Structure 1
């Protein structure tokens, strides 16, 4: 085995040469050589180091950093179960094309099958859920493998970005004998890769009744499509995290409008990763509709297996009278239904999730950043009116899990360099409560967590298991009330805390930008959530 300190220095130098500027570290013994070199690189201003004690949260912190910055972000762990705790973040990164780089310290291979402490089979641990993997045991092969893995993570050649895994076998001694690691990093050169140019866009012919469905997408892509759809007079069915919910083409009540208008659609253009609503899923599964999927990646979303064409990009036809008339019909239906939705929510007894989401959205400036959690918060935000200049919106929609979203929000704050407001449910908060803990030696971003606390999984009340036939079992196995004092969590982690009970109080709490880590708790009663969902669907006729 090679000298561990030399291997660590070469690895960090290679990451820096590959453009890495943020690294997340979860401490451990076997990863000590890497930790010491990373500490020195952070001290010297060559990268920014984030230290977390929980590997699962560390993985999602790196995910948020990479998602928001578009650059590969390593998360470094020690050996054993520490590496396995990264699997949820790896899965989300795989499904959402995020360049997450797992760097796992490992015991020498000779110790496997011996019962040695914290020794398992880390090679291939993530199986098919990484784009590439490698194991290094000596400094000599590190620059090549780091260059190859960073190319795979960014998809520069494959057009399939995503997570990668570098397993680093480190032998004793793990720490230098002469104190801190002050030796200079070695000079390394990585292979450079040129990306293939995209294909020419597909020019769509006019005269076909077309809608654009925009799923989860980066801000630049979503905003560009909002402008395109408006210029072409094409109805835009944009999900809450599509970043396309702006301008005259975006329809805030699209999931309700599809009840009556879907039958008239002849062509659908898909942008991003739509996952949010059943009406859209049904539309995308129809075989009597021309389905054009646009994607910059080598793979594409087509859960209904109905795609007609998959292309890099499309050009919408210049609108004629037929297109203008088609759009006016959708616009008139949206304006009428929007008024009825607003009236229903305004008259509904007590504060509701859609009202909270709307208030949070309206409080954001165009330069702000909003992260929205899975389950009800993202669906409530999806009912909010369309704004002229909404904030950038992020969500973990690769697998739409509720895990790791506190840490993801912190990572997005660092990755964007902007304050973040995170709209989360109470179970989502509890799932990643350790993400609230940012030690006094760590940099703290500006993140405000708005936690909609209805004491349980209210999304299940809107699904089949929430029907009265399952009332006896519902609370125990779906509702899962926890009764946790959120204020106590906030105080334990050193967060500023406020509780609000109405829209006026929430507006007051959101009036100033986030400063440090804050938590605003909004308590709701979920006993009428199913009735509200049914009333909203009935508005569509």
Structure 2
């Protein structure tokens, strides 16, 4: 660029370079300073070169962009105006940082000469995300080749980047013809046409995850030590392939992309509370495991050899700071002795049968979990897990829904193109409705898209339903496990009866919100579901647009339910002296 470039010309140049970097979806939260971006984006959308998604809430816009990049496996840009609008993107940027998602923040800014002057909506927003996203403060004086290089790097690097664009002078183009506001760079081919994905690697979707070819140059592990493979969030197929090659038990979280096939244990986290845990001599950690204390205890045990593989964000999960860190998933030359895996597989089958029998038991049967009247939350999760058929997308919220799935979801069949994801980088409940909408929009060819969220998670981002007329809406079913509060805390230390006097107010936080009325206000289809058969039937349907299925459950017995699961695990695995 040159010093003579206008604000509309600078905005157009940035958008053209984003297009060349593979960006095909852009989320816009409108404002005055970002006006030249808005007009160019509208023209690009009308031309069919970009898909524009307009949202009025910047926080939701950021998570929509996060979902779009998760679903499409391409870089996605989110454009805001200046001031507090940029700050509202921080939660989504933090999540993108911890998961290596390519979200490009394009923040329109006032010129540098106005900083520190008290000028309206002017603040120090360049670099506002600190360590979570590198920032490039761009002006019209920047040489074209330098601007091009910066934008190209933002599209290709893992994790988020902020492009803070100083726009000076007249913001609106002098030409009133919309065709002049955007034109595709015509001197280069379309990089998206060849299926170019992250870091220039051609992406294919297999199993439950989008994956690339698995590297086979990892360290060769000796056989012999009794080994468990732990697959956390975004582990991908490499964890499963290692466990399969070595015939080792695989404890794979639902969003790992590895909860597939024979080696994956359905009840792995519960089995780690039994005597089987004491026999583990080595553990290989792939991805980012966050769901259970038994797993965290295992991978933090200094008496166990722990090998942890770096994730997409460059970090190896090692909460105990004891692991030997690897850059690539290790390999083995053949299967280990079968007795080790056979013991885990048999225990997993016994425990799964005990759980399923209890869930199917009639009211009053002592085998039934202690949930009182109504539907068991675990039974709801089992129905959702069973609905994840071939070519299905599932976005699962944090707190209880993903943990329930971790206990009751039977490992899925390989090579059926399932896609199960969540925001597990920081494991927060923030932005999940918008994330789910983005994931569904990013995978338009999925047979069906489902989101499984708790009621507080749903309410925390109801602005994700705030979609204007004419905006793209996915075919998405949102299942809300509705227990009027934060049930997960009852299973933690603060759920002990010693804290009962304060617990309901400061942890459970009942809200009494009428979800039907809320959905009606957003013109979103709603159905209350009190029957598991109806839930299964609804999840087999192919609705048009977004709909919400509210499944009311009780949270009164969550702590007792957790104790019931631990007791079943002890029944499934005999103790060392032979007692059950």
| TM-score of Structure 1 vs Structure 2, range by shorter chain | over 0.9
Q: Structure 1's 146 and 455: CA in aligned 2 closer, same or farther, altered over 3 A?
A: farther
**Offset of residue 528 of structure 1:** 1.0
Q: How do 1:497-512 and structure 2 match up within 5 A?
A: 497-512=526-541
Q: How do 1:348-363 and structure 2 match up within 5 A?
A: 348=369, 349=372, 350-363=374-387
Q: Structure 1's 317 and 4: CA in aligned 2 closer, same or farther, altered over 3 A?
A: same
Moved more, 185-194 or 342-351: 185-194
Query: 2-side partners of 1:291 and 1:149: how far apart?
Result: 39
Match of 1:318 in 2: 334
Query: 1-side partners of 2:377 and 2:144: how far apart?
Result: 50
Q: Structure 1's 82 and 381: CA in aligned 2 closer, same or farther, altered over 3 A?
A: same
Q: How do 1:60-139 and structure 2 match up within 5 A?
A: 60-130=63-133, 132-138=134-140
Match of 1:381 in 2: 405
Match of 2:166 in 1: 169
What root-mean-square deviation, in Å, do the aligned CA atoms of Structure 1 and Structure 2 show? 2.2
TM-score, normalised to structure 2, is: 0.87
Q: Structure 1's 115 and 15: CA in aligned 2 closer, same or farther, altered over 3 A?
A: same
Match of 1:299 among 315, 319, 330: 315
Match of 1:342 in 2: 356
Q: Structure 1's 296 and 435: CA in aligned 2 closer, same or farther, altered over 3 A?
A: closer
Match of 1:463 in 2: 492
Say how many residue pairs are matched: 529
Asked if 1 retains the 8 angstrom alpha-carbon contact of 2:231 and 2:287, the reply is: yes
Asked if 2 retains the 8 angstrom alpha-carbon contact of 1:14 and 1:188, the reply is: no
Match of 2:224 among 179, 191, 207: 207
Query: 2-side partners of 1:354 and 1:423: how far apart?
Result: 13
Match of 1:535 in 2: 564
Query: 1-side partners of 2:141 and 2:215: how far apart?
Result: 37
**Offset of residue 315 of structure 1:** 1.1
Asked if 2 retains the 8 angstrom alpha-carbon contact of 1:371 and 1:421, the reply is: yes
Asked if 1 retains the 8 angstrom alpha-carbon contact of 2:265 and 2:411, the reply is: no
Match of 2:518 among 456, 476, 489: 489
Q: Mind listing any 5+ residue stretches in structure 1 that lack a counterpart? A: 156-160
Deviations 1:307-339 (A, max 9, x none): 12413121134124xx20101111111111111
Asked if 2 retains the 8 angstrom alpha-carbon contact of 1:14 and 1:142, the reply is: no
Query: 2-side partners of 1:277 and 1:394: how far apart?
Result: 17
Aligned with 1:135: secondary structure?
A: strand
Asked if 1 retains the 8 angstrom alpha-carbon contact of 2:316 and 2:325, the reply is: no
Q: Mind listing any 5+ residue stretches in structure 2 that lack a counterpart? A: 202-213, 361-367, 571-580
Query: 1-side partners of 2:155 and 2:23: how far apart?
Result: 12
Superposition misfits of 4+ residues, deviation over 4 angstroms: 185-195
Match of 1:522 among 544, 551, 554: 551
Match of 1:58 in 2: 61
Match of 2:240 in 1: 226
Aligned with 1:382: secondary structure?
A: helix
Query: 2-side partners of 1:17 and 1:212: how far apart?
Result: 40
1:217 lines up with 2:217 in the alignment: no
Match of 1:405 in 2: 432
Query: 2-side partners of 1:378 and 1:385: how far apart?
Result: 10
Query: 1-side partners of 2:555 and 2:63: how far apart?
Result: 29
**Offset of residue 150 of structure 1:** 4.0
Aligned with 1:249: secondary structure?
A: coil
Moved more, 383-392 or 456-465: 383-392
TM-score, normalised to structure 1, is: 0.93
Match of 1:239 in 2: 253
Deviations 1:12-53 (A, max 9, x none): 111111111111111100000011111111111111111111
Deviations 1:268-292 (A, max 9, x none): 1111111110000000011122212
Q: How do 1:179-190 and structure 2 match up within 5 A?
A: 179-183=176-180, 184=183
Query: 1-side partners of 2:428 and 2:408: how far apart?
Result: 22
Q: Structure 1's 146 and 449: CA in aligned 2 closer, same or farther, altered over 3 A?
A: farther
Query: 1-side partners of 2:144 and 2:553: how far apart?
Result: 53
